[in-house]
Amino acid sequence: MAQYTPMIQQYLKIKAEYQDAFLFFRLGDFYEMFFEDALKASQVLEITLTSRDGGAQDKIPMCGVPYHAATGYIEQLIDKGYKVAICEQTEDPKQAKGVVRREVIQLITPGTVMDEKGLNDKENNYIASIHRDQTGKYAIAYTDLSTGEGKALLLENSLERLSNEIASIGAKEIVVDPNFDQDEITFIQTRCHVVISFEDQVAEIEDFYELVKQLHHQPLKTVAYRLLHYLKRSQKRSLHHLQPFTEFELNQYMKIDYFSKRNLEISESIRGKNNKGTLLWLLDETVTAMGGRLLRQWIDRPLINENKIIQRLDMVETLLDHYFEREDLRDKLTGVYDLERLSGRVAFGNANARDFIQLKKSLIQIPAIKQLTEQLNHHWANELANQLDSCEELVTLLENAIVDQPPLSIKEGGLIKDGFHQELDQYRDASRNGKQWIAQLEKEEREKTGIKSLKVGFNRVFGYYIEVTRANIHLLQDSRYERKQTLANSERYITPELKEKEALILQAEEKSVDLEYELFLKIRETVQSYIKRIQQTAKIISMLDVFQCFATISEKRHYTRPTFNTNRRIALEEGRHPVVEKVMDSNSYVPNDCYMNDQNEILLITGPNMSGKSTYMRQIALIALMAQMGCFVPAKSVELPIFDQIFTRIGAADDLISGQSTFMVEMLEAKNALMNATNDSLILFDEIGRGTSTYDGMALAQAIIEYIHENIGAKTLFSTHYHELTVLEEKLAKLSNVHVSAIEQQGKLVFLHKVKKGAADKSYGIHVAELAELPASLIKRANEVLAELEKSARDTRLETAVTIDEENDKVQEQLTLFDNPEKNNIRKSDQKVLEKIRGIDILEVNPMQAMNLLYEIKKQLK
């Protein structure tokens, strides 16, 4: 350290405490970065890399960004997953004895962004903390710092489920103990793409008691305290807006793992990270940011409590029946700004006067929204209306205090209305009268001197001055004029009268600006005292917004109210895939039925590619999900059981990050369903087994179907190209064949997209290739090869029939190997294999175990 200048020493000491962050070190009007930070930031931000003397022999790398433009650069770094520590001057340079005192005033991370430009309006920005207790269970606590809402839950000892939950909530940052298992951290980072931060403090302190009092399990309290300590240490400001953590159990909601959500394209498209073409994209008719975030939460966690589902459906139906009230409600909601994030900025101390105008305008809408909600004549609507708080006293304060169009800055005046504060009015009067006096002075001096171009001006360096061009200087004969500044084409002067008035005007202006800032801070403190009331109102507003959204989309797209049963019956008449229907012309969409009961648990779906098998499967899952959210669904009529989980295996893709092949990914997703599904679950398996050889794939597909049939009993939709599997309808009592129909017309394939009973008679693969416009010569050759293969298969079957009698005797002799091993000279090792095979209970073995047993047997035989 001794080789560096005092300022660089100061930088290095502060940087040592924030090694995992870019340190924005305030120097005058710039934030500077040095050493490795400068090298890396210059590349990431594409800014000029320079250097400076720092006392050492070699110059120090340096780059910087202007103070007033820093927000944009910080957003870029945060968006790329970095952290930024803001180091400000905390001492007046004029009063500093040596190096100006500096310290970090805030650590900005992906999970603690508060600036509205860096946030998605309709998406939560969660930061989470995880903790593993002595029993191996995981505890998770997470909060959205911008809105203040917080939740906590316990998970069983499963790293897979932990990472799935982190991915599902979309956490941007995870806070862990410094001693947390490094392998698990690496797994979570790889799977969930999150930033990892460390915090060792978990002490229970009084400041946080109200926030954790609803948590009843000690691991949840521990993980919540860790998160709160991290936020307090890193943000260094009030967390008054944080709401108490609510504890919830996953078994209160339908479980859908992250990969199933992607397969079904619920809130994220398979083709990219945006939500276009997803269920969320379709359903989002919300008009407030708060409603948009709540809608996403409801989509992520559908209910399994029938009473709560019906309560939501009742509200949607009520709004459907009250068209005019709904339209008026929607209109009033458009005037409500993001009350949750406004509250967060107020508590955080970075709300400006424009935020207060938005808050006032929002609260002004509440009485009308309350009245419209009461007019729905529904008991729950009345309960919600009673919880709406218009905070009339606060509205009055903001109306009287803040000008209608305030400036962005809160330190340069122009915020407070005339008449709000007597002393401020006096300063303003002095300043305004002084400026009138200046204007009068200019007029008088022009008359006295005869110089028509003479003018009185002002700048921050020299104050007020009288400016005369060089061509007119000879006309100045008045000794009162004292030269103040010389310019290329003019001279600037001051007079005793102007100097005296200048002091009065500037003093009044300076005091006015300072007083306005003080008054604004007091108003902000007053607003802080309303935060809890505003947050409660925000919750009700967001619920009303989602309900009107469901009603609006249901009316617009002709959705039907679902009903539920306890006898495991699916009765879906003319069901439609909601997203596909919207994307294509709804008049050309072909609806389909689905009927299943306790005697029909599995549908084996066959049919050509592009015929609509995947769409049919997905629409069943999406209709079930929408119903359990409390929304009407795309169908003529719907009766459903309540599903506890949805599992999918749709599509095929390598997991390049973890080095797993398409087939391994397929098997792992199948395993997840087979190990965790219950008879109340819904399973969608699309073309499972196609990632390996034909016979392996067919064998596995059949084994999986049989396992589900005999051991799980979940409602299952299983599509396949293995037509040989259709014989399972005769063997498995609760399996039925259905197919998506297609016909040939003049040698061309026409998809009917209609699901019918029975199995498809052929796959039409070459026809699909023809539709894809592969070269005509290639299609012709494929048909020739197909004919040869089919002829070869017929000849093989004929030869087999002719020789089967001859082979029977040999078969019988071979079968005696099992009866008399000594007579046939079987090796002892082979005998052990035979005994092992005899000991296997097929009904108790899942597909993965079967593969492992087969591998072991083959190894022993070798």
CB 242 within 8 A of CB 148: yes
Q: Can you give the three-state secondary structure of 396-409, one letter per residue?
A: HHHHHHECCCCCCC
Beta strands in 9-108 (DSSP E): 22-27, 30-34, 50-52, 60-66, 84-89, 102-108
612 is in an annotated binding site: yes
681 is in an annotated binding site: no
Kindly state the DSSP code that residue 242 receives in the 8-state scheme.
P
42 is in an annotated binding site: no
Closest residue by Cα to residue 342 from 121, 75, 549, 109: 121
Distance of CA 803 to the CA centre of its chain: 65
- Spatial distance between the Cα atoms of 359 and 389, rounded to a whole number of angstroms: 13
- Spatial distance between the Cα atoms of 54 and 34, rounded to a whole number of angstroms: 10
Tell me which amino acid residue 395 is: V
Distance of CA 372 to the CA centre of its chain: 32
DSSP string, 150-211: EEEEEE-S-HHHHHHHHHHHT-SEEEE-TTS-HHHHHHHHHHH--EEEE-------GGGHHH
Place of tokens 């609760």: 734
* Helix/strand/coil percentages in the chain, nearest 5: 50, 20, 35
Q: Strand 682-686 and strand 715-719: pairing?
A: parallel
Tell me which amino acid residue 79 is: D
The string over 450-477, giving b where at least 16 C-beta atoms fall within 10 Å of a residue's C-beta and e elsewhere, is ebeebebeeeeeebbbbbbeeebeeebe
- Spatial distance between the Cα atoms of 545 and 296, rounded to a whole number of angstroms: 12
Sheet containing strand 570-575, edge to edge, reads 563-564, 637-640, 570-575, 592-596
List of residues 6+ apart from 563 with CB closer than 8 A: 638, 639, 640
54 is in an annotated binding site: no
610 is in an annotated binding site: yes
Annotated binding site: 607-614
Annotated binding site for ATP: 607-614
